[in-house]
Structure 1
């Protein structure tokens, strides 16, 4: 029997998570990565309990190998540095997992290792990674992607994990919506921060295992320690007009930001509306390619992990998929994921708006209630069953 061919476009966190989830007998998985080194860069990244539980219970991945740091909760500060609210995590034993913080590169290296591993705990053959393989176009119905050099790669399933500036998205939607960047991130050695900013550190201790947020009208600072307290990550959320980022840039993590522009307060965050669909033919989008979101809930990477789990769950046992069956499976995945992700997108956008913003609120849950909504997730099939039972 010919192997079930899976092509994953994008060798980032979403792409390798999908590769791990989809590995199985008689499957051939290729990851196409546009860079030459396939090395993630960027700042700190968090996985919420809904995602870290998937790694542990579904995939058997030991996240401590990526120097994971347990985050004990969220702390909200005003601009004077006074604590105004705390949302603890460690006391919530019903989550059955912790919120973990990583350096993005450490998590990426672990995922890549697991995808390439020949260990018997990983079903199927190791994944093939092809670097310097930039995708230029895609035919979703034929199941082909064409590289910039003219080579065509064919798959029974094509996963678009190519990020916020996805090439595949326009072929799925048959139009090309542009992403609107909204942030600037920095990582600072903790010792340097303590030496140069003692007043800041006297109010927000950079070595305590909490994610801190400072709220100032239409801007937010989201901060927290990583790499076992060696570094402190700071993400500034501001409208893109203050950053002058290039919306056509291929790598948002390395787009050049302008600090003077970032510091100017301005208007509201630009909206990112949910896409009307994530799939067409043999192609499905996941992660930022399907549902980029602001980091106010720390759910961007976690939702990509949930997408990957859904792929593994709905393709379990599938080794042959004519186009009609493929469309049915991809629609099941979309229906199981879309409403949940769209609500998290909306809440993340709402949480980033000024406290004085007028108009109807998209989400009426409290932060604590929304934390439960985020973290009590038990996989795509269980979620779909819950939605069916609620609508009956």
Structure 2
């Protein structure tokens, strides 16, 4: 019997899981509730721990730098509100990471991963992608999911890759946790670089939008995180705002694709200099979403169902690790299931799922905690959960990762030392 795998969710977590699990005698189906035709104007980064997996393990380096138009981020630049560069943290000097920090337009990365999943040129049969296929129910013991249409889809393995508002999570946990408001919301903007160069010369004289760096500005409890995408064609901005300083209703802005209002954003950033805020009006669209995350879950799997990505461990974007941790999850699935060729028993699947959970849980939970801590003001204290590593130490912790099996071995050695 072929090994049937059903992936609920056609985002980055879902398609990377499909890529990692492709192989002989495997039938992989991705069920996506949308029609995959919504343009999302935002940049996304893959940290070295994830880009190494995609480029070296899955062999997609050419695709990332071609179809996905990746920019290699050379480091972080910190500016004050006068436009003076106050600090630079280089990234390219860390060759021991085995990969670069890559920045993409989110749609370009998503389309490239989908193309690789369905390509006939990779090992195993192409992945079947079914859009407009909303899953409303799951039976983990039978390995079935029920679509909104009433159709039942069966798999030996069910992967819940359906995001922070996962419909699969309730089938794993006795009590389903809610995504937690974190006190911050984020605007997202995307501006053509040629528009900035033509219309905003003062901004460009201080911060070159085509330079391959992530630029940051922190003032008045708000922060701007900015950088180029699409080989320098566009400039992406994420503006993090405490909810109490925001002029919009945060409770109405929970969706990734919710729209923000320019006048209200300008009011929130009224204390920023005009050479910065004047660029906001050029955005092709203005999105706003309330940042939420999850406390670590007590388990990720139940019988034939496992959660990955934001469904299992949603985190704040302050470390840029959300997509990268989903890719690490996908690598773990591919690694631990690589020698399974026939339709596996429920007992065998549960055993492998627990190995994956043990290999991933402590690492992901710590990155979740550090991402949450990094969003707070420097004066904030939470001694019970505080991560004590310094920023450069945590960068190494994030980026030196070499796959789930090696990580599990290292943890077992350290626990017995």
TM norm structure 1: 0.92
User: How many angstroms does 1:248 deviate by?
Assistant: 9.2
What are the within-5 Å matches in structure 2 for residues 30-41 of structure 1? 30-37=29-36, 41=40
Q: Equivalents in 2 of 1:167, 1:258: separation in Å?
A: 30
Change (3 A) 1:343 1:81: farther
Confirm or deny: 8 A CA contact 1:219 1:352 kept in the other structure.
no
Equivalence for 2:329:
307
Confirm or deny: 8 A CA contact 1:165 1:248 kept in the other structure.
no
Residue 368 of structure 2 corresponds to residue 333 of structure 1: no
Equivalence for 1:235:
238
Q: Equivalents in 1 of 2:37, 2:169: separation in Å?
A: 21
User: How many angstroms does 1:182 deviate by?
Assistant: 3.1
Equivalence for 2:311:
289
The C-alpha deviation readout for 1:84-136, integer Å capped at 9, x for no partner, is: 332211111111211111111111111111111111xx221110111110111
What is the aligned length?
A: 385
Q: Equivalents in 2 of 1:20, 1:83: separation in Å?
A: 41
Confirm or deny: 8 A CA contact 1:218 1:352 kept in the other structure.
no
User: How many angstroms does 1:70 deviate by?
Assistant: 0.6
The C-alpha deviation readout for 1:47-105, integer Å capped at 9, x for no partner, is: 11111111122111121121111100112233443333322111111112111111111
Q: Equivalents in 1 of 2:146, 2:253: separation in Å?
A: 20
SS of 2:123's equivalent? coil
Q: Which runs of 5+ in 2 are unaligned?
A: 270-289
Change (3 A) 1:58 1:176: same
Change (3 A) 1:45 1:248: closer
Confirm or deny: 8 A CA contact 1:217 1:353 kept in the other structure.
no
Equivalence for 1:16:
15
Q: Equivalents in 2 of 1:195, 1:353: separation in Å?
A: 36
Equivalence for 2:83:
81
TM norm structure 2: 0.86
Residue 368 of structure 2 corresponds to residue 345 of structure 1: yes
Equivalence for 1:144:
144
Confirm or deny: 8 A CA contact 2:309 2:325 kept in the other structure.
yes
Confirm or deny: 8 A CA contact 2:178 2:294 kept in the other structure.
no
Q: Which runs of 5+ in 1 are unaligned?
A: none
Confirm or deny: 8 A CA contact 2:316 2:322 kept in the other structure.
yes
Q: Equivalents in 2 of 1:80, 1:233: separation in Å?
A: 20
Q: What is the alpha-carbon root mean square deviation over aligned residues? A: 2.2
Equivalence for 1:256:
259
Residue 374 of structure 2 corresponds to residue 371 of structure 1: no
User: How many angstroms does 1:223 deviate by?
Assistant: 0.9
